[in-house]
Structure formats: C-alpha cells, structure tokens
Amino acid sequence: MEQKLIVDGKRLDGRALDQLRPIEARAGVLKNANGSAYFRIGKTIAVAGIFGPREVHPKHMEEAETAILRCKYNMASFSTTERNRPGPSRRSKEISKVMREALMPVLFLENFPKSAIDLHVEILQADASTRCAAINAASIALADAGIPMKDLIASCSVGIVEGHIVLDVAGKEDTEGDVDLPIAYYPKRDLITLLQMDGMVTKEQLKQLLELAKKGAMKIYEIQRQALKSKYMEE
Amino acid sequence: MISIDPDVIKELADKGLRIDRRAFDEYRPIKIETGVIEKAEGSAKVELGGTKVIAGVKMEVGEPFPDSPDEGVLITNAEFLAFAHQEFEEGPPNEDSIELARVVDRAIRESKAINFKKLCIEEGKKVWMIFIDIDILDHDGNLIDAASLAAIAALLNAKFPKLEIVEEGDEKKYTIDYEQKTDPLPIEQRPITITAAKINGKILLDPNIAEESAVEGEVSMGVTDNMIASIQKSSPGGFTIEEINRIAEISLKKAAEIRGLLK
C-alpha cells in the first residue's frame, strides 16, 4: 500500500489543508545588485537580484517609449535531488516569460524609456512551487531596488491531492498530486496576474482553488511587506 | 501591412464591438483539413480566420522514461516560420514558440487524450514516441487555439506505421515500415483550447492579431467535455477571479461547438 498523502485532514508535513509552509523573507541580501531578496517557503529557496533601470544592451532591444523588463528564472544544478543540467531549459524559458508578464502590471515601465530592468531569480533549492517563490522574491527585490511600483505581487500555489483542495503544494504532493495551479496576485487591483494549471478540474473546483489561492497570496503579501519594512527599520 | 491603433480596438470593445464585426464570443471561421502530408503518420492544417498552422505527427520507437516504463512518449514542438509574420526571426525556438508548444502539449497530456499505456511495445525497453510538430505559416492572432486544434486533429488522423520485430538470438531488432499504416492511435479525449482576451475590461474570445495588441491579458483553457485540463495566462495584465470563472464557463460551452468540427 502506498503512503497516503493526507490522513485525517493533515498532510505529510503536518500541515492543515489550507496552511502555507513556514516562510522566511528578507530584502537587500546582496551587495552589488540594485535590489535583492531572499524568499524561502519550506525547503524551496529563491534569491532575486535586480539591476536597473539601466542602459539597454544590446542596443536593438531598446524601446523608445518604455523600459523593458528582462526576467530570468534559473534552477541551480544542486537544487534538485537528481542534478539539474545547467543552462536554460524549455521549462525555465516558459517560467521566465510568465513571471515577467505577472510582474509587469505593477511597474511604471513607461517612466523609464530606453532602459532595461534586469531581474534574475536563482532557485537554490527546489521543493515545488518554485515559480511562486521566484515571483515573491522578485517582487521584494524590485521594491528594494527603489523601482516605483503600484503594488507588490504575491504568489502561491494550490492543488488537488487525493481529492482534497490544498494550499501551497509541496514535496510528494507535487509529483503525486492531481492538480497544480500556481497564481500570482495583485492585491490592490484584485487581479490574478499569473495563472497556470495542470490537471483536470470542474469549474466549481476551479472556483474553490482560486479563492483559496487568493487567501494564501494575501498571507504572503503581508510577509513581503514585513520584509521590506524591517530592512528600512534597520537603516 | 496595415496596423490598427490599439486605442481604436479598446474604444470599440467599450461599445460592444470588434474590428471584424464579430460578437465577443464568436470565433473566426475555422477550417480543418486532415491528411495533408502523406509522409507524416498524421497531419492537419487549420485555418482560424487569417491564422494558418499545420501540425504533423511523426512516430519512432524509443526508450521510455524511467519513471513511466510502460508508457509512450509525447514530444511537442512549434516553429514560428519567418514568413509567417514580419517580426518573426529565423533561429532557435524563442520563449513564444516554447510557450506555445508547451501549452499545446499540456492540454493533450493533462486531458489524458492519449492512452500512453497503449504505446508500450516492451515494458522498460521500447515504446512508441509521438512527435507533434507545429508549423506556424501565417500569424493573424490566437496561435494557441489554432495550434491546439491542429495538434488534436493530426493525432486523430494519425495511424501507427507498421512495426517489424526480428529476433536475433537474445536481441530484438525493431524496424518501422513507414509506407504501411496500420491502426489509429489510442486517442481517448478531444481537448479543445479556448483563448479569451481582456480588452478594456471586456472578455472576448479568439482575439485576432490587431486585438492582441490591445489586450490586458489572455487566458487559454484546454477543456474536455466537462472538465478543465490546463490553463495558461499569457500576455501581461490580469484577471479577477470572477472573470476567470466566467471564462471557464464560456470555454466549456464554446469547446463543445468546436469539437464538433473534428472528424
């Protein structure tokens, strides 16, 4: 008999169905980058660093009326149980794209024509929901860089595991669960800015998943704000 | 090429209108032609308004992945041909073509359209590999829906090539006779992908290329008869949960209509 992932409403790591893993968030963790952040949720660890707004190289990428946001999501080769081959994969390119599109709505890119904001997120350790951790770190790092923003973007995942709707998919739930749905949320406008899903759901289940995801994202939003506040309290 | 000001599209949307006079939930005319490439195991050409794509299915014998020793393999790829749009460039796949291929793949995989166990030849050793390659011939918007439709139509059109197994002592040799087509592929679901765009707060389906320049976000849902199998938000922007729920409902209805066009 295979090990059950949910017993008496508790998950393998002891969490309730609607509970996030322990989170640690810090702003300004790197010296050279214009802005940076560390975001850890359970065993998933992301570090984000920003340079910019700065001159665009290569020049032909420059846009006359707006800044460009360039995002790179990368998983360290030591971040996974089996070594992850270094270099961009099709998966990481897709994640970089959806991550950029999730963050763009809160940036005033039109205020910085002909410039680039370069964002790199490194996943140091991967235990599911890595794109969410990447967005959470990126959002804090953008604010830490002093880049004008309309709001922070907060991200988390929800899923369906053994028929139960759960918040913050982790560990075996990722590989053995039936549905994985990451979102990014823009609280001030009440907008979902990243939405992906793998797995079969009814439209009623989708509704429940999204409501739970929003609740989770709001908790993360508070932690992101705290991380920024505590950095400036220290200074 | 004539380009239309995104502001015009937005103003029209505000009045409940679209540049090509469609209703918000109306698709452009869809044309599906299958079996267009004789050398492929299956193929389909799809026209969605001015968007033209062609999907070809090729098959090979290969090794299964270690975590699914009794299942076949699906590999999906998309090529944005340089003549399909003035902004497309020759070169390796970029993030748009990668995203397109992965979104098409996800709807097929997550809906369990293919019974992968029926692609097993010898457990742990040999399985059928299905390659879906999609050529974008002409880009007039909503590539995701056109490519997804071409992919499922090509899969439904595909037949296994004849497999010959020769035993030489302990070794088995597999040769494929591509000239002889045998049984159809084990296709058990017909996922349809529906893309909705938000323009000036309005939700409309099947955005054309002019409309795509004015979107505040696009969402694509791969759906079966009664379930949603995959979702991808593409383009910058955002949706409220209420909007996403509404899109899910519309997608399930619209997909049933489009599914009727598949043979």
- Per-residue confidence in pLDDT tens, chain A, 235 aa: 467 999 999 999 999 999 999 999 999 999 999 999 999 999 999 999 999 999 999 999 999 999 999 999 999 999 999 999 998 999 999 999 999 999 999 999 999 999 999 999 999 999 999 999 999 999 999 999 999 999 999 999 999 999 999 999 998 998 899 999 999 999 999 999 999 999 999 999 999 999 999 999 999 999 999 999 999 887 6
User: Measured between alpha carbons, how far is A148 from B188 in angstroms, rounded to an integer?
Assistant: 50
- What was the pLDDT predicted at A1? 47
The single residue listed with the structure tokens 């939405």 is A195
Would the CB atoms of B234 and A101 count as touching at under 8 Å? yes
In a domain? residue A1: no
- All residues at 6 or more sequence positions from B91 whose CB lies less than 8 Å from its CB, including other chains: none
Q: Which of B96, B237, B248 sits opposite A206 (nearest CB)?
A: B248
- What was the pLDDT predicted at B80? 95
Query: Percentage of chain B surpassing pLDDT 90?
Result: 91
Query: Percentage of chain B surpassing pLDDT 70?
Result: 99
Is the CB of A4 inside 8 Å of chain B's CB atoms? no
Q: What is the pLDDT of residues B22-59, one digit of tens each?
A: 999 999 999 999 999 999 999 999 999 999 999 999 99
CB B218 within 8 A of CB B195: yes
Closest CA to A195 of A131, A133, A110: A131
- Compute, in degrees rounded to 10, the torsion defined by CA atoms A133, A137, A142, A148: 70
In a domain? residue A115: yes
* pLDDT band, residue B67 (cuts 50/70/90): very high
Is the CB of A193 inside 8 Å of chain B's CB atoms? yes
Task: Give start and end residues of each alpha helix (H) in B90-132.
Answer: 95-110
Q: Which of A163-167, B90-94, B117-121 has the lowest mean pLDDT?
A: B90-94
Would the CB atoms of B102 and A211 count as touching at under 8 Å? no
- What was the pLDDT predicted at B1? 56
Q: Which two tokens stand for residue B252?
A: 């399930």
pTM (predicted TM-score): 0.93
Q: Which of A95, A174, A197, A215 to mutate to test the interface with B (most CBs of B within 10 A)?
A: A197
- What was the pLDDT predicted at A3? 77
- What was the pLDDT predicted at B2? 64
How close B7 gets to chain A, by Cα (Å)?
Answer: 16
- What was the pLDDT predicted at B168? 86
Closest CA to B198 of A205, A192, A155: A192
Determine the average pLDDT of the residues in B219-232: 97
- What was the pLDDT predicted at B170? 83
Question: What is the interface pTM, i.e. ipTM, of the complex?
Answer: 0.89
Which residues of A are less than 8 Å from B244 in CB distance?
192, 195, 206, 210
Is the CB of A210 inside 8 Å of chain B's CB atoms? yes
In a domain? residue A3: no
In a domain? residue A4: no
Q: What is the pLDDT of residues B129-183, one digit of tens each?
A: 999 999 999 999 999 999 999 999 999 999 999 999 998 888 889 999 999 999 9
Structurally, how many domains does chain A consist of? 1
Is the CB of B129 inside 8 Å of chain A's CB atoms? no
Is the CB of A55 inside 8 Å of chain B's CB atoms? no
| Cα distance between the two ends of chain B | 35
Is the CB of B79 inside 8 Å of chain A's CB atoms? no
Is the CB of A215 inside 8 Å of chain B's CB atoms? no
Q: Calculate the CA B76 to chain-centre distance.
A: 9
Is the CB of A191 inside 8 Å of chain B's CB atoms? yes
- What was the pLDDT predicted at B73? 98
Is the CB of A124 inside 8 Å of chain B's CB atoms? no
Which residues of A are less than 8 Å from B245 in CB distance?
203, 206-207, 210
Which residues of A are less than 8 Å from B240 in CB distance?
190-192
Interface size, chain A vs chain B, as Cβ–Cβ contacts under 8 Å? 101
SS3 content of chain B, % helix, strand, coil (to 5): 25, 40, 35
CATH number, residue A65: 3.30.230.70
Which residues of A are less than 8 Å from B227 in CB distance?
200-202
Domain assignment of residue A105, given as a range? 10-234
CATH 3.30.230.70 fits B6-259, yes or no: yes
